[in-house]
C-alpha cells in the first residue's frame, strides 16, 4: 500500500534562548491574537543571546510522509521547492532520510520557519509561506490502484482541489485532508470536504469552518451534521486531547500527558499521520486514536517535527498502552 502526501516542505530553524519569556496577562485579548492570554516575549531593541540553533526538515508534506515511512508504508511526498540554498538544504535532507518524493521546483524562494523556543517547550513560529507551495493541477500525481492520499491544501486555490478530488473519487481513492486556514475560509470548503474520507482539524480550525465558537462536543456534532460522506472527523484539542466522530459514535481521549514538552512543532502532523496509518490497517477509531496520541506525545519530547516519530514496534511498548478512550 502506498500513501501519497501532498503538502509543504520547509526548512525549520530552531532558536532556543533563556531570554524568550512566556507571559500571561488577562489584558491580552483575542482580537489582538492572544486567544490563550499568553505571549512569548523579549525586550524590544535588545540584542539577545541564543544558546542553541538547529536546522530541521519540516512542512506537513514531509512530516506526515516521515510517519508513513516509519509505519512501513510505501510512501510519496509531493512537494515544491525553490531553487535557492534552503531548497538545496531540504533536498539534501530528503535524500539523507531516503524519503520518496515527487519534487517540483519554482523560481520563488523556498518556504521556511523560524521557531523561537522557550525553556518550557512553548514556541512561537515565524513562517514564510512561499508562492512555491501553490500547486497547479498539472503538478499533482495520478492515483495508482490501491493508493491512499493525504492532502494539506495550503494556499493552493480550491478550484484546483475540487477538480483533483473529483478525479481521485472517480478512481475510488481514499483521501484524508488536513485543511488550512485559506481553505476553510472559502465558500467551497464544505463541498470539497464532503468529497473526502477522513478530516483532521484542530478546534480553532473547526470554529473557523463553522463560523462560531462552541465547545468540542457541539463542534463535532455540527460538523457531523454538515459532512455526511467522510468516514471519520477528528478534532485535536492540544493538551486536552482529541475528540472524533465516525458515522455512528463519538470518541474522546485526554491523550498521553507529557509534563515537560520540549518542542510542540509538528504534533498535529504526527497525530494525523499516525491516526491515518492505523485507520488504513485496522479501521478502528479507538486504536487509531491511541496511536495518533502516542506519536504526537513522542514527537513533542524531542526537538524537531520528525525526530520523535514512532515506528510500528514502538506502539507495542508499555509507555504507549495506557490511555483512556471513551466511545
Query: 246, 123 in Cβ contact below 8 A?
Result: no
**Terminal alpha carbon distance of the chain:** 29
DSSP bridge partners of 13: 55, 114
Which of 34-48, 75-89, 270-284 is predicted least confidently? 34-48
Query: Domains (ranges, CATH) in the chain?
Result: 2-18+54-320 (3.40.1190.20)
**Per-residue model confidence as pLDDT tens digits over 130-165:** 988 999 999 999 999 999 999 999 999 999 999 999
Distance separating alpha carbons of residues 7 and 77, to the nearest angstrom: 8
Average pLDDT over residues 253-259: 93
CA distance 77 to 58: 12
- Average pLDDT on 75-87 reads 95
Q: Which of 100, 97, 59, 96 is nearest to 81 (CA)?
A: 59
pLDDT band at 244 (very low <50, low <70, confident <90, very high): very high
Average pLDDT over residues 276-293: 97
Query: Which band of pLDDT confidence, cut at 50, 70 and 90, is reported for residue 37?
Result: low
| Phi (first) and psi of residue 315, to 5 degrees | -65, -15
Q: pLDDT digits over 183-232, tens only?
A: 999 989 999 999 999 999 999 999 999 999 999 999 999 999 999 999 99
Amino acid at each position: 500500500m502506498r500513501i501519497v502526501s501532498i503538502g509543504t516542505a520547509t526548512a525549520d530553524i530552531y532558536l532556543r534562548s533563556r531570554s524568550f519569556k512566556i507571559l500571561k496577562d488577562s489584558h491580552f485579548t483575542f482580537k489582538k491574537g492572544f486567544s490563550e492570554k499568553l505571549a512569548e516575549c523579549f525586550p524590544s531593541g535588545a540584542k539577545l543571546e541564543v544558546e542553541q540553533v538547529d536546522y530541521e526538515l519540516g512542512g506537513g508534506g514531509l512530516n506526515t510522509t516521515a510517519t508513513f515511512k516509519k509505519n512501513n508504508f510505501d510512501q510519496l511526498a509531493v512537494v515544491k521547492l525553490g531553487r535557492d540554498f534552503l531548497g538545496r538544504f531540504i533536498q539534501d535532507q530528503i535524500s539523507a532520510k531516503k524519503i520518496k518524493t515527487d519534487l517540483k521546483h519554482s523560481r520563488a524562494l523556498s518556504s521556511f520557519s523560524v521557531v523561537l523556543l522557550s525553556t518550557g517547550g512553548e514556541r512561537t513560529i515565524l513562517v514564510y509561506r512561499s508562492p512555491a507551495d501553490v500547486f497547479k493541477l498539472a503538478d499533482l500525481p495520478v492515483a495508482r490502484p490501491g493508493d491512499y492520499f493525504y492532502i494539506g491544501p495550503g494556499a493552493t486555490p480550491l478550484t484546483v482541489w475540487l477538480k483533483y478530488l473529483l478525479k481521485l473519487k472517480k478512481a475510488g481513492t481514499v483521501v484524508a485532508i488536513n485543511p488550512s486556514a485559506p481553505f476553510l475560509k472559502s465558500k467551497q470548503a464544505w463541498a470539497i470536504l464532503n468529497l473526502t474520507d477522513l478530516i483532521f482539524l484542530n478546534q480553532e480550525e473547526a470554529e473557523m469552518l463553522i463560523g462560531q465558537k462552541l465547545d468540542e462536543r457541539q463542534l463535532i456534532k455540527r460538523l457531523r451534521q454538515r459532512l455526511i460522506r467522510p468516514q471519520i472527523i477528528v478534532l485535536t484539542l492540544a493538551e486536552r486531547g482529541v475528540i472524533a466522530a465516525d458515522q455512528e459514535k463519538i470518541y474522546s481521549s485526554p491523550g498521553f500527558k507529557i509534563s515537560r514538552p520540549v518542542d510542540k512543532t509538528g504534533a498535529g502532523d504526527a497525530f494525523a499521520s499516525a491516526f491515518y496509518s492505523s485507520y488504513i490497517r485496522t479501521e478502528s477509531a479507538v486504536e487509531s486514536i491511541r496511536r495518533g496520541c502516542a506519536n504526537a506525545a513522542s514527537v513533542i519530547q524531542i526537538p524537531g517535527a520528525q525526530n520523535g516519530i514512532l515506528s510500528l514496534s514502538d506502539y507495542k511498548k508499555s509507555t504507549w498502552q495506557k490511555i483512556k478512550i471513551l466511545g
